[in-house]
Structure 1
Amino acid sequence: MAELGDRVRGLLDDLDATSGAAIGEAAALLLGSIEAGGVIHAGGAGHSLAMVFETFYRAGGLAPVRPMWDERVQPLAGALRSTDAERRPDLGRAVVEAYEPRPPDVAVVFSTSGRNPYPVEMAQECAARGVPVIAVTSAAASRGAADRAGGTLAGHATVVLDTCVPPGDAVHPPDAPRTAAVSTILASYAWARLLAELDDLAAARGVELPRWVSANVPGGDEINERLLARYGDRIPELTMNR
């Protein structure tokens, strides 16, 4: 299956070449927000929720991240319902209104096509509140998708990280792709690269980032408890049902 590995590695190279400068801009936005006491609000729907999970309460990840979502867009709670919800006008806007992001917060919205109302409205509403938006999306997939929102996620973003996911997501076999979706691989890499860029930028400025540590390593629980105390009030998802 070497050809699949080559295809994925090629797409990772494309992402580096296409979004390298934008990742630096996004890192600067995040660092400014963290230094000012802001929270990063992460949103997405359907399988893009995998990326919301990746940003939240993750070993090595940033502590001031709040998942911004509605349970109706989760496929595990009803696959067809999640598709309907992502296409429903006004739901994305209502979610942002409920979470109330405000400067110096930053929003990160994940959507491969960036064409459904839910992610587009999230970006619109955040921008209207003065909250910068980092869009993690694919220009190629967006061009090949149906326009259901009268615009795109990228069109309302402060910074766009183009994941270079091809239309339809699948990449195998090369001559007639029908399986092996790559959107999660590429979006995860984009987020990991952003965290690495942020780490380098913070180190250069002498800033210690608030990061989760694995609970399975010595001292991890103690470090995480301090972060929970620091951010629990603004991020209730960290301690609810405890």
Structure 2
Amino acid sequence: MPEGHPALVRALLDDLDERSAKPIGDAAALVLEAIAADGLVHVGGAGHSLALVCETFYRAGGLACVRPLWDPSVLPLNDALASTDAERRPGLGLSVVRAADPSPPDVAVVFSTSGRNPYPVEIARECAARGVPVIAVTSPEASRHAAARAESRLTDHATVVVDTAVPPGDVVHPPGAARTAAASTILAAYAWTRLLAELHDLAAGRGLDLPCWTSANVPGGDERNRHLLERYRHRVPELGGPPD
């Protein structure tokens, strides 16, 4: 049996399954209703949570009806310190949502481990105010220990909360005095892929065909994706704009 860090990660995944099996099913049902009504799935996050936004967008096996909610200033790769400042800056999340202009029957997914910075909180609050259901992929336990930089928490504006069970501070190794090995990306990515699996099964039960990308690196992938690009690129500018 695995010991040490592998065993700990597996235990965290089991904890996520125990806490969030029903919320993930509820979230999948919300996403399916949006897709069935020809809505979009708006996905937001900042800092390293942008890794999860990338995981949802233009991804082999992922949904073609995803639109990323983001601003370049929250990407750490260009200027890490500036990205932290941007995530904490009031008004930026609100402006991102206003630019995307989500409305029913759309749904929103917001990734944020702490859920306490203005950027993800504003995205969730504004989407909810527009009548767009919000799925929060977060850790309430980590949020309780995080610095309060917004007047509310991400969970306060969520229709469904998927608890990733990420411990406060994110890092998990060595046990008892953790200094390294952050777990949030592993756990949130697993939660998203489990949601996609639940979504597939729900859609199959209703006889619905999900708009999923095929890997461009397998024979016929580009051809299979072409009709999805034609269907969504005028509604998702991040796919490259309208066809000529």
- TM-score computed with the length of structure 2 as normaliser: 0.97
| 1:75 aligned partner | 76
User: Alpha-carbon deviation of 1:217?
Assistant: 1.2
What fraction of aligned residue pairs are identical, expressed as a percent? 69
User: Within 2, Cα distance between the matches of 1:205 and 1:63?
Assistant: 19
Structure 2 SS opposite 1:66: strand
Distance 1:241 1:187 in 2: 32
Whether 2:161 is the aligned partner of 1:160: answer yes
- Residues 117-158 of structure 1, C-alpha deviation per residue, up to 9 Å, x if partnerless? 000010000001110000000011101101110111011000
4+ runs deviating over 6 angstroms: none
| Cα gap change, 1:241 to 1:79, in 2 (>3 Å) | farther
* Residue aligning to 1:12: 13
Instruction: Look up the match of 1:92.
Output: 93
TM-score by length of 1: 0.98
Count of aligned positions: 242
- Cα distance, 1:2 vs structure 2: 2.7
Deviation for aligned residue 1:59: 0.2
Cα offset for 1:241? 10
| Secondary structure of residue in 1 paired with 2:166 | coil
Is 1:148 equivalent to 2:149 in the alignment?
yes
Q: Which string of whole-angstrom CA distances, capped at 9 and with x for unpartnered residues, describes residues 1-33 of structure 1?
A: 831011100000000000100001001100000
* Structure 1 match to 2:38: 37
Read off the aligned partner of 1:105 and give its amino acid letter: D
Q: Deviations over 1:163-189 (max 9, x none)?
A: 000000000000200000000000000
Aligned equivalents of 2:216 and 2:150: distance in 1? 41
TM-superposed CA distance for 1:85, in Å, is: 0.5
Aligned-partner residue type, residue 205 of structure 2:
A
| Corresponding position of 1:26 | 27
Give unpaired runs (5+ residues) of structure 1: none
Distance 2:80 2:3 in 1: 32
After superposition, the CA RMSD in angstroms is: 1.2
Matched residue, 1:224: 225
Look up the SS of the partner of 1:61 in the other structure: coil
1: CA distance, partners of 2:165 / 2:185: 12
Distance 2:143 2:128 in 1: 20
Structure 2 partner of 1:189? 190
